Amino acid sequence: MVNCGLVSEKNEPVPLKSISVQLQVRDHGVSVSSSLQYVNEEDRALEAVFVFPLPADAAVCHFSARVEEQEIVAELRDKQSARDQYDDAVSSGQQAFLLEESDESSDVFKLSVGCLSPGQNAVINIVYVMELSVQADHALRFCLPAVLNPRYTPSASAAGVPEVSSASVIPYTLSLSVDVRSSDRISRLESSCSLDPLVFLDAHHTHATVSLSAGHRFDKDVELLLYYENTHQPSAVVEAGAATAQSGSLMGDPVLMISLYPEFPADVMSSLASQGEFVFVVDRSGSMDCSMHNGKDAQMRIESARDTLLLLLKSLPMGCYFNIYGFGSHFESFFPQSVVYSEDTMEEALKRVKNMKADMGGTEILQALKHIYSQSCYPDHPRQLFIFTDGEVWNTKEVLDLVKSHVNSHRCFSFGIGEGASTALITGMAREGSGQAQFITGTDRMQPKVMQSLRFALQPAVDNISVDWTVPEGVTVDMLSPPISALFQGQRALIYAQLKGQSSGKTEGAVTVKYRLKDQPVTNQLQFTLKPTEDTGRTIHRLAARCVLRCLELEERAGGADTQALRSRILELSVQAGVSSVHTAFIAVNKHSKQTVTGPLLQRRVPVQQMFGSANSGGRRLMCKMAVPRMAPRSMQMAVPRMAPCSMRKKERAAPMMAFDSAMLCADVMMAESYSAPDPEPAPPADPLLQLVSLQKASGHWELNAALADVFGKTEDELANHRPAQLDGSVWATVLALIWLHTCRSEDQVEWQFVAMKAAAWIRSQKPDGLSQCVCDGNLLLGGHVTEDALGI
């Protein structure tokens, strides 16, 4: 890992010393309280700047500072007004603290700590709430991101404070504790980092605590996976309004959070869709040549993407349409437009996949998406977009607006590769494209997560979705969530609603979700009580407010005559709910700290973990995803500035957030230009599973040959000699392949499930005689015990 940030004149560490995080998990939501301790070790007054990532869907709801023994609680204000107040305070020698969201991406925040006297301590406390995402294995996932990858932008600005390389070890540590309370029994809690043992605090296992092992260096994302015994049960929680808030307002009325898990009829789910247009969009920027993780034998990201495309191409149904795009500083597609999936088109695509490299420079996805959306859709073949990227673009909101504008013509499934992938980009594309987002971090394998999303994509499309409420007389329901545009079997759908009025005495209500699935009407209903739960600290209200704010921000960016009115609504709701937005910022000023500041303030940027990778050839080592000053041309480098006078600092702030948005440039292009190696011959897949999959034909069958025998550890003669006399060689080969999958790779079934379904369908279409004997002979040859029913034939 390489860290980027400003260092002192004596090359000493920046002043952030430690981070302490407390998680309060309540069912499917979490409140996160982070404390950051600063110490000014300079001999002059200092301003520290900390640019850091937060989950894209987090609602920041509290910001305070403790200097010595004095607690200063920040106020939420109009962003420009907060910036002006901060500048005025720091210039006059007062201590001030400013927390603001990036104008370009909702998962990047900037914290400015101003006018710390020499030797002075300050503890910053930030609180945010968020929903826990549900994983394929029913786990609830929380990720505390340590990595902030530089966001690629094609044209640099010279404004702002640059980042330069600091020490190779993050100078601060992380302590983390977790408190879990749930209405469901807690099964276990796992992490990508070392944890102390889980301690249950009650006999029912509904309350537990756990902590990160001592001495953890915050050099990678901290991922927690929480398992309840019945995660996929629909649930409803009512949270009481604040007594101090105005009745009828969002914060003053009760708010309801509904968690739904649609169950589709079994007969509909037994046959997955055979129609569709599948467009795979792969990041081929220089950063994709970085390793998936820091462990031994880790694959390069581009290698993992190639293996995943092999599985996807082999899993597609005959008769569908497909295409593959690669993007970097430019983009290219395998075919001018999507083509019919056949043996010929699949083989042509596979040849190009084998030679696919991370050689396309920077990360510009917008133009590729515009080209895809400009292509006409095929009737009766709904478009399914699969996007693979390490998520480091500068124009996140522009990309999301584009996806949103085409939501009625496609579904978007997005995959964030590696630590530091932008949660705003990955989750945002899936949300706006009515699909699903997945993150591949640490030692995660890409293939299982992608194949789960393919199962969602192959599900029949749900349409005519409606939500109806049954509540007592005197109570009305105001939906706060946007209309549901997509439903998937077993995937959670969250609904926020405001309950207005007073009940006449009844305390029960119901929500009914109706939709059509393959022309069949389906109804899912959930009963709930109107009685509020115990005090949850307004977590649900704040999550609901965040939901409304994001919808208003999207509407504002779309333009129109009411832009000013929308901005006013965003400001009003943000301040009322105490939840940050794109137009507000937290500002805290210690008015009792005024002092005379001699000489200019020093400005220090706190290092945030950055990703890097290497490519070795001829003894050369290349770094990717570094900050500009290390790799940019000299014309783009800037001197490390001292703090400018207040009048100049206000001019610098004229372009909002330019100080860190445009200064975080990815060096993909420079890396591509600085290194040119001969194209090596692509190595065949080492994994026997991928070897087997690569041999399957588009129709679903295998041919009896030496390559197939090699996968089984047999000779071609052994396979031929055991073949039943009446059986065609391809049928025998395909039965053997299915037996091997079920016998030798049963734990990887999520990866080969569609390959096997195609194979079984092909065997059934051949209507061979003597299948029972064939399966017995195959089991005997390969040491299996698989039945015909298990094989699906």
Q: What is the pLDDT of residue 536?
A: 59
- Report how far residue 93's alpha carbon sits from residue 370's, in angstroms, rounded to the nearest whole number: 50
SS3 string of 345-382?
Answer: HHHHHHHHHHCCCCCCCCCCCHHHHHHHHHCCCECCEC
In angstroms, what CA-CA distances link 191 with 28, 139, 217, 219? 17, 11, 15, 15
- Report how far residue 389's alpha carbon sits from residue 363's, in angstroms, rounded to the nearest whole number: 9
- Report how far residue 238's alpha carbon sits from residue 338's, in angstroms, rounded to the nearest whole number: 47
What's the whole-model pTM score? 0.72
Under a CB-based contact definition with an 8 Å cutoff, are residues 400 and 429 in contact? yes
- Report how far residue 140's alpha carbon sits from residue 177's, in angstroms, rounded to the nearest whole number: 17
Q: Which of 372, 360, 366, 363 is nearest to 333 (CA)?
A: 372
Measured in residues, the chain has a length of: 793
- Report how far residue 176's alpha carbon sits from residue 4's, in angstroms, rounded to the nearest whole number: 24
Listed in sequence order, the residues at least 6 apart from 94 whose beta carbon sits closer than 8 Å to its beta carbon are 115, 589, 590, 591, 593, 594
In angstroms, what CA-CA distances link 593 with 89, 125, 352, 598, 603? 10, 19, 65, 15, 19
DSSP symbol at 746:
G
Instruction: Look at strands 602-605 and 608-610 and give their pairing.
Output: unpaired
Q: Which residues pair with 258 in a beta bridge?
A: 236, 495
- Report how far residue 632's alpha carbon sits from residue 666's, in angstroms, rounded to the nearest whole number: 9
Return mean pLDDT, the chain: 79
User: Hey, is 95 helix, strand or coil?
Assistant: strand
In angstroms, what CA-CA distances link 708 with 349, 672, 683, 745, 792? 21, 38, 18, 16, 21
Q: Which of 114, 51, 63 is nearest to 88 (CA)?
A: 114
In angstroms, what CA-CA distances link 239 with 92, 109, 242, 537, 596? 44, 29, 9, 9, 48
φ, ψ of residue 425 to 5 degrees: the values are -75, -50
Under a CB-based contact definition with an 8 Å cutoff, are residues 53 and 392 in contact? no
Q: Which residue stretches of the chain have pLDDT < 70?
A: 1-15, 136, 146-172, 217-219, 266-274, 391-392, 461, 490, 534-536, 560-561, 593-685
H or E stretch covering 586: strand 584-590
User: Hey, is 267 helix, strand or coil?
Assistant: helix
Please report where in the chains the tokens 């105001």 appear, as a residue. Answer: 478
Q: Which residues pair with 78 in a beta bridge?
A: 584
Instruction: Look at strands 410-417 and 437-440 and give their pairing.
Output: parallel
The amino acid at residue 655 is: A
Q: What is the pLDDT of residue 486?
A: 73
User: Hey, is 32 helix, strand or coil?
Assistant: strand
In angstroms, what CA-CA distances link 102 with 81, 163, 588, 603, 784? 16, 17, 19, 20, 57
Q: What is the pLDDT of residue 594?
A: 55
Query: Using one digit for the tens of pLDDT, what is the confidence trace for 533-569?
Result: 766 578 889 999 999 998 898 888 877 668 889 999 9
Q: Which residues pair with 210 in a beta bridge?
A: 178
In angstroms, what CA-CA distances link 97 with 22, 89, 111, 454, 626? 21, 9, 7, 46, 28
Question: Taking the chain, what is the end-to-end CA distance rounded to the nearest angstrom?
Answer: 50
Strand runs labelled E in 269-346: 277-283, 321-327, 331-333, 339-340
Q: What is the pLDDT of residue 269?
A: 63
DSSP symbol at 409:
G
Under a CB-based contact definition with an 8 Å cutoff, are residues 256 and 240 in contact? no
- Report how far residue 297's alpha carbon sits from residue 480's, in angstroms, rounded to the nearest whole number: 47
Q: Tokens for 614, please give them.
A: 């290497």
Q: Which of 529, 536, 566 is nearest to 551 (CA)?
A: 566
Listed in sequence order, the residues at least 6 apart from 429 whose beta carbon sits closer than 8 Å to its beta carbon are 387, 399, 400, 403, 412, 414, 435, 437
Q: Which of 275, 288, 244, 513 is nearest to 388 (CA)?
A: 288
In angstroms, what CA-CA distances link 486 with 138, 198, 403? 19, 37, 15
Q: Which of 381, 306, 299, 450 is nearest to 753 (CA)?
A: 450
Q: How many CA atoms lie within 13 A of 174 on its CB side?
A: 23
Q: Tokens for 301, please give them.
A: 């990201």
In angstroms, what CA-CA distances link 21 with 39, 176, 531, 704? 18, 5, 32, 58
For residue 575, the Cα-to-chain-centroid distance in whole angstroms is 28
Instruction: Look at strands 616-617 and 277-283 and give their pairing.
Output: unpaired
Q: Tokens for 345, please give them.
A: 């088109």
User: Hey, is 269 helix, strand or coil?
Assistant: helix
Q: Tokens for 313, please give them.
A: 């191409």
The sign one gets for the Cα dihedral 375, 376, 381, 382 is: positive
For residue 248, the Cα-to-chain-centroid distance in whole angstroms is 35
The amino acid at residue 405 is: S
Buried b (16+ CB within 10 A) or exposed e, 380-398: ebbbbbbbbbbbbbbbbbe
- Report how far residue 441's alpha carbon sits from residue 419's, in angstroms, rounded to the nearest whole number: 6
Under a CB-based contact definition with an 8 Å cutoff, are residues 759 and 696 in contact? yes
Q: Which of 765, 766, 757, 738 is nearest to 316 (CA)?
A: 757
φ, ψ of residue 140 to 5 degrees: the values are -95, 125
- Report how far residue 369's alpha carbon sits from residue 544's, in angstroms, rounded to the nearest whole number: 30
Under a CB-based contact definition with an 8 Å cutoff, are residues 590 and 95 in contact? yes
- Please list the alpha-helical segments (H only) found in 375-501: 396-405, 423-432, 446-458
Q: What is the pLDDT of residue 490?
A: 67
Under a CB-based contact definition with an 8 Å cutoff, are residues 488 and 456 in contact? yes
Q: What is the four-CA torsion angle of 458, 459, 461, 464, rounded to 10 degrees? A: -170
In angstroms, what CA-CA distances link 62 with 50, 368, 577? 17, 39, 11
Q: Tokens for 786, please give them.
A: 């698989």
